[in-house]
Amino acid sequence: MIVGYARTSTLDQTAGLEAQQRDLDAAGCEKVFVEQVSSVDVAAREQLAQALDYIREGDTLVVTKLDRLARSVAHLVELLAEVEKKGASLRILDMGIDTGTPNGRLMLNLLGSIAQFEREIMLERQREGIAKAKAAGKYKGRKPTAKAKAKEVLELHAEGVGGTEIAKRLGIGRASVYRILKEEVV
C-alpha cells in the first residue's frame, strides 16, 4: 500500500497543504495522513505517528518534500529506522528518492545532511540579524501574549477558576498564569 503524509507548519498554509495532497494523490497514495503543526513540536505530530503505526511490510510512506517529514538528520535517521523496521520504504517525491533501493538510502542521507546544514546556516544568519537589530534598537522581540491577558487571568482567578483551566480558556501557558498571579501578590 502507498501511504502519504502531508504537513504544514501553520493553519494559514492551506495552498501548500492542498498542493501536497494533490501530489500525493498523483503518486498513487491510497491513504493520506494530514496535519498542520510545526515540525519542532514532535509530540504534537499525531498524524505522523498514526502513519508510522499504519504502515506494514511492503508499504511505502510517501512525502512531497523532506522538510515535511524530518526536522534534522538525526530525526530523519530515527524515522527511517522506524519505517524500515516495519519492512516498509520511504519515498520523497521532489527528490526522486526511494529508500527501497541502496542508492535511494545513500542519496537520502547525503541530501538530509545538506538540508540540515542549510537550516543551521539560515538560523545562524537569523540570530546575527536579530543581534544587529537589537544593537540598533530596532528589534524588541515579540509582544508578550500572556501579560496582555493579565487582567483576564486575575478576573478568572477571582472567580475561583484554577490555573490550568485559566490557561486553557485564554490560550496561554500554565506557567504564565502562575507568573501573573505571583506578580499580583507581590
User: Using CB atoms within 10 A of its CB, is residue 108 exposed (0-12), middle (13-18) or buried (19+)?
Assistant: buried
Q: How many CB atoms lie within 10 A of CB 17?
A: 18
CA neighbours closer than 13 Å in the CB half-sphere of residue 179: 12
CA distances to 77, 129, 142, 146, 147 from 139, in Å: 37, 10, 9, 20, 19
Residue 176 annotated among the catalytic residues of the structure: no
Q: Which of 9, 38, 39, 72 is catalytic?
A: 9
Q: Where are the beta strands (DSSP E) in 39-135?
A: 60-63, 89-92, 97-98
Distances (CA, A) of 177 to 159, 166, 183: 14, 7, 10
Pairing of strands 97-98, 89-92: antiparallel
Catalytic residues: 9
